[in-house]
Every structure is written in structure tokens, then in C-alpha cells.
Structure 1
Amino acid sequence: MHHYSWALLALSAVSPAVVSASPLTHRRPNYVSHQDRLNGVKEAFQRSWNGYYQYAFPNDSLMPISKTYVNDRNGWGASAVDAISTALIMENDVVIKQIVDHIKTINFNRTVAGGEGVSLFETTIRYLGGMVSAYDFLTGPFKGKVDDASVKAILDQAVNLADQLSIAFNTPSGIPNNNLVFNGPNGPVTTNDATNGIATIGTLILEWTRLADLTGNATYAKLVRTGEEYLLNIKNPAVGEPYPGLIGTDVNLSDGTFADSRGGWNGGTDSFYEYLIKMYIYDSTRFGELKDRWIKAIDSSMKYLASHPTTRPELTFLAAYNGAGPGNLSFVSSNLACFDGGNIILGGLTLNKQEYVNFGLSLVEGCRDTYVNTVTGIGPESFQWQDSKLGNVSNNGAAPSNQAAFYQKSGYWISSSAYILRPEVIESYYYAYRATGDTKYQDWAWEAFLNINKTCSAGVGFSAVTNVNAPNGGSFYDSQESFWFAEVLKYSYLIQAGEAPYQVNADHNNQWVFNTEAHPVRVAGKPI
């Protein structure tokens, strides 16, 4: 376990008082910068990077305890590419150069170690998103950090990658197959999957559209828009759209019909809804239809999915569903789903809808409680509760006896106790702070960061842990995924930082929008 002087600051330290502007007054709140906290996050980034660079680079992910690596994302150096936008924001020139030099050498024609499957979704959000963001940064606020030839090479590599991935869209419907296999004699091929999920279909449109806009090659945007259309215009709504704007999960590649009616804001569906409003921010002229669908989804979420635990009815979570009606709700959520508050806040700011901002803030409050009530002060991978209004019916069972006391105190019980370095709670703190200027969200983020540092510091980096409700997090998984660099450290840094053009603002004039991996992309038409 590492201990550093900055990490010993009292968790209860309160930031200077701030007079907050209303998030919908078209004025920016008065934001506060904390240099000591910024230094702390920078130290964690450097420590993580040093371990990765020494023991894992140019492979994908560091195993910080065994001091080795795993190629879990194609073997192209996922942690390096995923870290570049964070390194740029921190102006870490040495790491920036190391990553840029690496990007120029990647062979996107082949995967490392025998041609394991390539996820179109994961490769898009980490690699393509990372490179497009780096190009936007290096031709914008960080111009001059890297020579022009290297900047061009980054965009060229993004094109190379997209060209290799484009085989995914060669299906009867044009909906992409998420799973590809490289290294064959004829180049990349698709697997024989029958379906794809709405998150892995609908979380491509930002990165591929941005690449199309940067290169002038509209094909990239057309490929992803085809799949998106099936999610916007449901062919079999009796199955595929159990609530207005809230849809099923799996779509048949053969004809674009929905294969099920299950969904919500958890993994597999989450970032489809996230990108609806983000694409409207990216270009309100081209993507007004996506904004309208986001509104329908949020209105239905507030009406049908908002739920309050029996023991803590002041808390708000979003239920999952498998069909329409109260009897088909599942009162389960996840650390991953805790991005929902931040996304709804962002949409409320964008659309001048205070009720959305308020609802998003209530979800942020609920997710905070999943953190503060565990032994480590970190939230679990998944959790459940008993709905306060539905009554004692088959889909609304009570807490298991061994967690009854915990549920009585906390308003949820733990269904999966792991923490795998997820960023989503801190992400929502970030949006809550940028919307309101209320420094309590900075304090909450710093508290979470210190608890993660205390619990997850392991070997030469940071590791996922098995049990957030056990002393020291139980045991380590020996795993530091690339999104630790891209998301946890970025949001932990930005919420404590001062003004910058890429910061989210409350004044309806955002110049950048973040992809789901927290890579900032320049909004279409905004000046460099």
C-alpha cells in the first residue's frame, strides 16, 4: 500500500464557499480550482503510467501486482491510447510524446497473440475515440505540443483503424456485428453472431461521425447511422419499445427487429441513451431527432423507472425492466449505471429543462450513498433494493437476511461486491459540479478519489478489488484496465481544475462533448 502526504488530507475538508449561479441562467457558476488535489491526481496518473510503461507497454493493460501485462484489447497498447487525452489535459509532455510515438507504430491490420476477438464497441470508444480526441486537442488547445507530421499521423491511424473495422457493417441489415476476428488470410472477418446490443450499436455514432467530418469521407458517418436508424424507428414496437423511448437490448442482424424487451440504464443499453443527447450537442442541426428520442427516454425513465427504497425513500434509483408494467421491473442497478445522473444533468442544461437537472441531481445523491455506506467508501459493482410503492410481490423481494441490517441503514443491498476501477460516480459528480458550482461535489469526488487510492493502490499501480464492504477491499484482482487512465483520473482531475475550453459549462455554449470513454471531441462547427 502506498501512502503519500497529499492522500492524508482530512476527508472532511470543506472547499471555500461559492455563490452558485442557477444552472439555467445562461451564466457560468464560479468554479474553484484546488491545486493540492490536482497534484494528487497527477501523482496517481504518473505512478500508474510508470508501472504500465515499465512492465506492460506496448501491450494493453498492466497487472500491477505480478508486474506483467495482459492483452485484453487487441494488443495495440490500449492503456497508452486511452491515456492520451488525460495526459494532454495534465500537460504531461513526456507521456504525451511516448504515446504519440507509439500510436504511429501500431499495426491495426493484426491483433497480438493469435487473433483473439476484436470488439467493435470497445475498440471504437478506446482507440478510435482516443485518437480522434488527440487530433482535436493537438489542432486546438494543445497545438504545438506535437509536431505537425505526428498530428497528421494520428488522424491517418484513426482512418486505418476505421477502415479495418468497417467489415463489421457488412450484414444483411447494415447493423454492425460487434465481434470481429483479425489475423486471417483475408484480413478481418465477422463472427456468426445473430444479434447485437443497442449500446454496441448506438455508441459508435459520435466517434465515426467525427472521423467523417475531420476527413471529409462521409462513408464513416453513413455506416453508423444505418444501425442507429433501427434503434430510432423500431420495426416491432410491441417487443422492442415497452415504454416510449425506452427500448429492448438485442437486435437481430438479419432484419433489424428486436429480439427482446429487456433494458434500462445498466450495461448493454446505457450508452445508447447517453449518445442521443451528446450527438445533439455535437451538431444540433443534423441530430435533432436524437434529442427528441432522448427526451422520450428521460420522460419515461422518470415516470416508469424511478424508484425509492423502502428503508430510505428519499433515495432515487432507476429500475431495469423486461417488458412493460410494474410486474416486469427489476430493482437492480450498478456502479456502471451511475453515469445516468450526469447524463440527465447535461441534457437538462442543454435543453433548458430544470426538471431534468433536478432529477439528475437526485440520482447523483442516490449513487453517492452507495459509496459512503461501505467499509471502503467505494460503491459495489451492482446493488438491489425493495421498491417502496410496489408492495410485497414476486419481483419486489426483501433483502437477504444476512444483509437486512445493511439495507435498513443504506437503502440498498450488495449483489456484486467488486470494484473494477469504475469512473461513473465521479463522472456524475463532475456534471453536477459543472452545472451548479456547488463545491460539495468537488469534496465528494475528492473523498471518493482518496478512498480509491487507499483501497486500490497495489504493486506498481492500481488494481480492481473483490469486496468494497470488507476491510482493504477484500483482495486484489491484479487488474488495471485502460479506462482507469481515460476516465477515473480525468474526471477526478477536471472536477478540481479551473476553466478550460474543454470543460463542460452551464451556459449552453459547450465547445466539446465527451465520448463514453471520456475522450473530449470538438463540437462540430466550433472554431479552433
Structure 2
Amino acid sequence: MKPMRRCRRGFPLLCLAAALLVAAALLPGAAVAEGVTPSEARRLRDEVKDMFYHAFDGYMKYAFPLDELRPLSCQGEDSLGGYALTLIDSLDTLALLGDKEKFGAAVEWVGKNVRFDINKTVSVFETNIRILGGLLSAHLLASDYATGMRIQSYDDQLLHLAADLAQRLLPAFDTPTGIPFGSVNLMYGVDENESKITSTAGGGTLTLEFGILSRLTNNTVFELVTKNSVRGIWSRRSKLNLVGAHINIFTGEWTQKDAGIGTSIDSFYEYLLKAYLLFGDEEYLYIFQEAYKAAMHYLHHDPWYVEVNMNSGATVWPLFNSLQAFWPGLQVLAGDVDPAIRTHAAFFSVWKKYGFTPEGFNLATSTVQNGQRSYPLRPELIESTYWLYKATRDYRYLDVGRDILTSLQYGARCPCGYCHISDVETHKQDDHMESFFLAETVKYLWLLFDLGAGPDNIVENGPYKYIFSTEGHLLPVTPEIALVDEHCSYFGAFCNASADRGYGTSASSTNHKKTNYTQLGDIQTPSGHYSAPDMLTTRGYIKGVCPGLTHAQKLGISYSDEEGNILEQTSEGHEDHGVSAVESSVQSQSSNIILISNPVGSQQDEALESRPESGDGVDIVTADSDSLSHDNTGGSLGVNTEEISEGTEFTSKQTED
């Protein structure tokens, strides 16, 4: 483990404030809750279930078929597209709770009544994660006997809706960089006045849903455009391997160069790792490793994370924003559990201070950031709590869940559902309930307590491993979706047009040569699996590998300098313009190993089993219980507050390019 960073001279009060904030929540004498027993976990699980139905029934009674509920006034509102958003977003939560009757009725209604040939301009990002993801997850549950949720009368109606919706989103990807517009009209395409600026998360959080759709419909176009978008973002990263928050999708110029793990960037990191875990595509793993190492080197001020200038690495904002709270959960999936424990403890200390996490908390002043005082029922802290309990089985994470549940019950519950908190200091309620409260917040709370009680759900005991989308939708790792053996065949590696093309001689490549392939442009795919439309540019994709190229060139990715000029790499792996020195520096900060963790002191966790060995020198290993360092004494969740005091350093200096 790398040594803790010392406080910079001139910031001792800041370091002390950060340490006291964490200690107040985590020292044994300060802990209000004691260990949650299995019987209490069952009671809390049932309370969360009642929470779900209070909100869901309120929506169905007062808001349906509008998009979302106004829980104070008991009315509805259309907030996205006017197609029963909350119902679609809640479908797989109904299935997870085992409510086959309501799940079946909801699936039938959606299949018969929802249509997307409407004159509505919608967010590509939100429509993808909430609607497309909700439809696909529910389809996979309703069409499979093994899930226990098979609907006899179901005939792929949700899959047809998903394919129609995705087809209507495709015009957004028609850009010079391949990074999509932020919004699209479902009937008429992209408006000529649509902004050419989009967020990194907006362009990088599409791969799971579109990739699954390609595999279910045998149409590669959906997966190809989203993978091309990720490549478009990553190829424009800085020499520090950092990406900014907003980019011009026509010029490729970064319009906001603040790099972080929160707002506008968060799920870009998330989908890199999850796309690898779901599809077995090593390109996503390679990019994730490089991006993660850079984030831990430049953004991590243990236990917090800050925003920095993507080119210089200088701190721009010493701010915790609530979307960062997903990060410890992602670290558990990657096997980096120790820093996840410390960071989660720091984030939870903010919740303990206010009863909720504000959208922004200023680390330099230890106060709520002006203009970011609300808590819109976000799930990220609960999500990370679930994953850390799953990895460690430390009962204190059940205590955290109980504290969060208590805050929601006493502060956010209102007549017809659960309200946004407009100010975390006054706990004033706001008349709005986002659909993700039912899709994610309640789901992760229920899973946490069900795991503590002795799990009885399809995620823990079902026939498949599940990857959760960024909206919390259940995406099963089935043979039909994973296609691990076929993946390199229908995508293969990327070669520049001028590069010599050849076929690999690995065992996997040899086996694939025996398959009957259909040639589609430059894509080779197993016959009957995929077809690529003529409109799609497929130049550069081949089966196998390209001899004499670096790993980055094989994958079609490259560095750019501060002016956006592409920095070429040689076949020997040496990079021009001094990039190799930067990469070498980042490489030395972190191991080139991804750990898929197993729970400590318990049976092997099915959802976190190690993946098969991958190529290109990347080792996938399973962390045993001895490698997951956490404190089983006291109430500190493994956080050494003295180390945090010494290791926290911030500057509020604004840095210009």
C-alpha cells in the first residue's frame, strides 16, 4: 500500500477538520447503532419492502401513467418522455421482491400501451439507463423460466419496444467523434439547434444496455456505436490518462477540463469495468485499468477525492459531491477493498453530520457547498454500503444501512411517497420523487438487509450472476449475453488503415477459424449471430490481432496532447512527445492486477468470483480473506483517523489551463 500523503504546510486546520468529521461518525463511543442481528435484519428488510410499496402504490394511485410522482401534493408529472417512467424503472424491483402478480400485470400493460413514436425530445443518457435498461432487465426476467418470473403470455413485447427505442436514439451518434448528442427527438431525430456539448458520462454510459440489445437482437449496430463513443472519449484523454467533464462532440475539444469521479464523469468509469465483467471484452478492462490508476494517483487524497485539471493534475475543486459515493462499490468490484473501506467511512461521516448527503460538501471549509444543499433520494452511498457488506460481511455496514433507513423514514417520508430533501440542514421537503428511488435506492437497501438476514432472492441465489446497471437494473451474465468465446471473433482487434492485417495464432483464434463466418464489410461474425447494416462504418475491425502493433494500437486508442493533437505510438511501444514517461509514472503507482473479491469469513460469493484469465499480461485473481484488511474491533470500519489526519491535503486554488 502506498504511503499516506502528509498534510501540506498551511492546511493543518483543514486536515484536523476532516479527521474529526470522520471520527465523529466512526469512533466506538460515537456509534449509536450496535450490531444488527439476523432477526433484526429480517425486520429491516420487511420495513424496506413496506417503504417500496408506500412509494410504488402512491405512484400508481396518484401519478400513473405519468412519469413521476409528486409525493407531497399526491399528483403526477411528466419529466422525461411521458411513458410511465416510474413503472418501467421499477419493473425489476417488483421481480426482485418476488411480486409476480404485480410484475406480470405491469409487464403486460407496458407491452400493450407504451409507444415511442412520439414527438418528444429526450435525454439520450437518462432514456438509456432508465427506460432501455428497465425494458431489457424486465424482458430477461419475464422470458426465462430459470428466474421464477416467467410470464406465460409474454412474447418478447418489451424486447421489441427496447429495439424500437434504441433505433430512435441512434441518430444522436451521427457525429464526427462518434460521441452522441445529449438529446434526440424520438420522432424527428436531432434538432439542428441541439447543443454540441455533452458530458463524459453521457457518452460513456451506454455500453451495457446497447451491448445487451445487440446480443438479443443479432444486430451489431447498437454495440458498435456505443463502443465507438467510448473510444472517442478515451482517445482524447490527457497525457495523465484523465478525462474532462464536458466535450464538444464535433471538434473533440474539452470544454470543461475538470477531471473527477463524480458529476458528469462518474458512470464512465463504472461502465468500463462492468462492460468487461458482463461481456468479457478485454478492451474495456484495459481502458479501465489505465483510467483507474490515473484516478487513484491524481484524484485520490485519502480518503477523499477531488477534482483536478485534466492536463496539469492541479486541484481545482476540493469538493465531495454525492455522486462520488458510488466509487467504493466500484472498488469492491475491482477488488481494491482497503481504500474503499476508508472512503466509504469518510462519505458516511457526511451523512451522519446532516442525516443525508448534500449534493456538494466543501472539504476546505467542512460545510455544505452553496447551491448544492439538496438530497434527491440518491442511492450511491447505499449501493457502496451493500457491496462492502457483501465483500467483508462486517456487521457495521448493516448499522450504516439502519441509520440510512431511519433518516429516510423520519426525514423523507411524506403522504404519498418519499420526498426530495431541498436542504440537508433544515430537512425541508420538496414535492418530487425521482424514479430511481424505486429502481435503486430501495433496491440496494432491501438487498443489504436480505443479505444480512440470510439471502433469499434471485441475485444471491438465482441461476445467474448479475451486473447492476448504473440505474440498478439487473443484467444477467448469461451465455447468450456474455458470448465470451465469440467476442474476439465478431469484434476482433483494431488496425489503422495503413497497418498490415493478419490473424492471430492463439488457441482461441485457431478455434474460431473453424467456425462458419459471414463477412460483413471488415467485420467477421459467426453466421446467424449478427448482421451489420450498410450505414455503419466498419472499416478497421478484423478477426484476430494486428502484428507489430502496441496494445493501444490494436485497440484503436491513442494519447492526445493539451491541444487535442493525437500522439502516435510506435510498434515497439515507445510513445512520442514524452508520453511514455507519463504512463510509466502512473504505472508505478498501482498494480496492474484487477482483484475480484470474495466475502471475508464466509462462503465464496457467486457475484464476485474471479473472471477467467485474460491476455496481454493482465492477471485476474481472487482475493482471499487475508488480503482484505479491515478492522474487526471497535467501530472504525478499518479507518485509522490519525492516518486520515496526516493523509488529507487540499487546496482551494482555482487552476487555469
SS in 1 for 2:94: helix
Which residue number in structure 2 is paired with residue 297 of structure 1?
A: 291
Structure 1 residue 33: Cα displacement: 8.8
8 A contact 1:179–1:191 mirrored in 2: no
- Partner Cα separation in structure 2 for residue 426 and residue 255 of structure 1: 38
Aligned residue identity for 2:473: H
Q: 1:88 to 1:176 in 2, by over 3 A?
A: same
List alignment gaps of at least 5 residues for structure 2: 1-30, 483-657
1:364 aligns with 2:344: yes
1:522 aligns with 2:476: yes
SS in 1 for 2:44: helix
Structure 1 residue 364: Cα displacement: 0.9
Structure 1 residue 93: Cα displacement: 2.8
- Partner Cα separation in structure 2 for residue 131 and residue 364 of structure 1: 32
Q: 1:267 to 1:242 in 2, by over 3 A?
A: farther
Structure 1 residue 514: Cα displacement: 0.7
Structure 1 residue 293: Cα displacement: 1.9
User: What does 1:274-293 correspond to in 2, within 5 Å?
Assistant: 274-284=270-280, 287-293=281-287
Question: Of 426, 429, 432, which aligns to 2:382?
Answer: 426
Deviations 1:423-466 (A, max 9, x none): 11000001101111112112211210121111001121110012
Question: Of 474, 477, 493, which aligns to 2:430?
Answer: 477
The number of aligned residues is 446
SS in 1 for 2:247: strand
1:108 aligns with 2:95: no
Which residue number in structure 2 is paired with residue 165 of structure 1?
A: 169
8 A contact 1:298–1:344 mirrored in 2: no
8 A contact 1:167–1:190 mirrored in 2: no
Query: Which is higher, the Rg of structure 1 or of structure 2?
Result: 2
Moved more, 413-422 or 437-446: 413-422
- Partner Cα separation in structure 2 for residue 191 and residue 488 of structure 1: 36
- Partner Cα separation in structure 2 for residue 190 and residue 428 of structure 1: 41
List alignment gaps of at least 5 residues for structure 1: 1-9, 18-31, 235-239, 309-315, 349-355, 387-398, 400-406
8 A contact 2:279–2:481 mirrored in 1: no
Which residue number in structure 2 is paired with residue 313 of structure 1?
A: none
Question: Of 79, 82, 88, which aligns to 1:75?
Answer: 82
8 A contact 1:205–1:224 mirrored in 2: yes
Which residue number in structure 2 is paired with residue 243 of structure 1?
A: 240
SS in 2 for 1:34: helix
Aligned residue identity for 1:264: G
Aligned residue identity for 2:446: Y
Question: Of 489, 494, 501, which aligns to 2:447?
Answer: 494
Structure 1 residue 329: Cα displacement: 3.1
Which residue number in structure 2 is paired with residue 53 of structure 1?
A: 60
8 A contact 2:88–2:110 mirrored in 1: yes
- Partner Cα separation in structure 1 for residue 40 and residue 474 of structure 2: 20
Structure 1 residue 527: Cα displacement: 9.4
Q: 1:325 to 1:346 in 2, by over 3 A?
A: same
Question: Of 166, 174, 195, which aligns to 1:193?
Answer: 195
SS in 2 for 1:476: strand
1:15 aligns with 2:36: yes
- Partner Cα separation in structure 2 for residue 99 and residue 361 of structure 1: 39
SS in 2 for 1:466: strand
- Partner Cα separation in structure 2 for residue 370 and residue 510 of structure 1: 36
Which residue number in structure 2 is paired with residue 342 of structure 1?
A: 329
Q: 1:140 to 1:147 in 2, by over 3 A?
A: closer
8 A contact 2:261–2:305 mirrored in 1: yes
8 A contact 2:375–2:422 mirrored in 1: yes
Deviations 1:272-304 (A, max 9, x none): 0111110110122xx212212222222222222
8 A contact 1:15–1:443 mirrored in 2: yes
Aligned residue identity for 2:79: D
Question: Of 247, 252, 256, which aligns to 2:248?
Answer: 252
SS in 1 for 2:69: strand
Question: Of 513, 516, 519, which aligns to 2:467?
Answer: 513
8 A contact 1:501–1:511 mirrored in 2: no
8 A contact 1:130–1:519 mirrored in 2: yes
Structure 1 residue 213: Cα displacement: 0.7
Q: 1:331 to 1:523 in 2, by over 3 A?
A: same
Aligned residue identity for 2:268: F
- Partner Cα separation in structure 2 for residue 462 and residue 243 of structure 1: 42
1:380 aligns with 2:388: no
Q: 1:527 to 1:79 in 2, by over 3 A?
A: closer
Q: 1:495 to 1:180 in 2, by over 3 A?
A: same
Structure 1 residue 151: Cα displacement: 4.9
Q: 1:326 to 1:205 in 2, by over 3 A?
A: closer
8 A contact 1:332–1:385 mirrored in 2: yes
Structure 1 residue 337: Cα displacement: 1.3
Deviations 1:175-233 (A, max 9, x none): 211211245xx567565322222100110011000111111111111121111111232
8 A contact 2:179–2:233 mirrored in 1: no
User: What does 1:166-185 correspond to in 2, within 5 Å?
Assistant: 166-182=170-186
8 A contact 1:180–1:191 mirrored in 2: no
8 A contact 1:164–1:188 mirrored in 2: no
Aligned residue identity for 1:14: G
Which residue number in structure 2 is paired with residue 132 of structure 1?
A: 136
Aligned residue identity for 1:480: M
Structure 1 residue 145: Cα displacement: 3.3
- Partner Cα separation in structure 1 for residue 99 and residue 434 of structure 2: 20
Which residue number in structure 1 is paired with residue 395 of structure 2?
A: 439
8 A contact 2:71–2:431 mirrored in 1: yes
- Partner Cα separation in structure 1 for residue 181 and residue 258 of structure 2: 20
SS in 2 for 1:254: coil
Deviations 1:294-343 (A, max 9, x none): 222222222221225xxxxxxx1100123344644310121121111111
Structure 1 residue 257: Cα displacement: 4.3
8 A contact 1:305–1:319 mirrored in 2: yes
Name the TM-score, length of structure 1 as normaliser: 0.79
Which residue number in structure 2 is paired with residue 96 of structure 1?
A: 103
Structure 1 residue 525: Cα displacement: 2.2
8 A contact 1:501–1:512 mirrored in 2: no
- Partner Cα separation in structure 1 for residue 387 and residue 464 of structure 2: 13
Aligned residue identity for 2:294: S
Structure 1 residue 357: Cα displacement: 1.4
- Partner Cα separation in structure 2 for residue 431 and residue 307 of structure 1: 22
SS in 1 for 2:421: coil
Which residue number in structure 2 is paired with residue 63 of structure 1?
A: 70
8 A contact 2:216–2:481 mirrored in 1: no
Q: 1:325 to 1:413 in 2, by over 3 A?
A: farther
Which residue number in structure 1 is paired with residue 126 of structure 2?
A: 122
8 A contact 2:215–2:480 mirrored in 1: no
Q: 1:526 to 1:441 in 2, by over 3 A?
A: farther
Structure 1 residue 267: Cα displacement: 1.4
User: What does 1:301-340 correspond to in 2, within 5 Å?
Assistant: 301-307=295-301, 316-325=303-312, 327-340=314-327
Q: 1:279 to 1:372 in 2, by over 3 A?
A: same
Aligned residue identity for 1:60: D
SS in 2 for 1:465: strand
Name the TM-score, length of structure 2 as normaliser: 0.64
Aligned residue identity for 1:40: E
Residue identity over aligned pairs, in percent, reads 26
- Partner Cα separation in structure 1 for residue 323 and residue 135 of structure 2: 24
Q: 1:94 to 1:454 in 2, by over 3 A?
A: farther
Moved more, 483-492 or 449-458: 449-458
8 A contact 2:358–2:368 mirrored in 1: no
- Partner Cα separation in structure 2 for residue 360 and residue 436 of structure 1: 11
8 A contact 2:273–2:285 mirrored in 1: yes
- Partner Cα separation in structure 1 for residue 460 and residue 255 of structure 2: 37
Which residue number in structure 1 is paired with residue 226 of structure 2?
A: 224
SS in 2 for 1:74: coil
